[in-house]
Amino acid sequence: MLDPADNSILPAIPAKRYFTIGEVSELCQVKPHVLRYWEQEFSQLNPVKRRGNRRYYQRHEVELIRTIRQLLYLEGFTISGARQKLESDDDPIEPVVETANKPKVSKELIGGLINELEELTVMLRD
């Protein structure tokens, strides 16, 4: 698995109706036990359960998981803070969704990287 904080390289979501927990784990780079925990913490995350309590996630839930991942790992929210952010309609969250060749990256991440590069440039000049 990749570094949890690295949200820039996520595989494209295939054109399917349902995804198993293993597939979602790979698509979102989050372990299955974390997905099961998030189901308890985020009421919006409610996969269909079929035979033997097997979970089947729909595309909108995979996108929601990527958004939760972004809030927790990239933007530093707590579970309760992420829950509040998802429940509020004031500031819509743009989920990180990778297209075939071009990942979507948040403006905050780009700004932070630019600042780091500028600081490194100053350090190298000195």
Give tens-digit pLDDT for 2-44: 444 455 578 888 888 999 999 999 999 999 999 999 999 999 9
Domain 18-125 has CATH 1.10.1660.10: yes
Both tokens assigned to 47: 């996969």
What is the per-residue DSSP string for 79-122?
HHHHHHHHH-SSS--------SS-----HHHHHHHHHHHHHHHH
Q: Is the pTM of this model over 0.75?
A: no
Q: Where are the domains of the chain?
A: 18-125
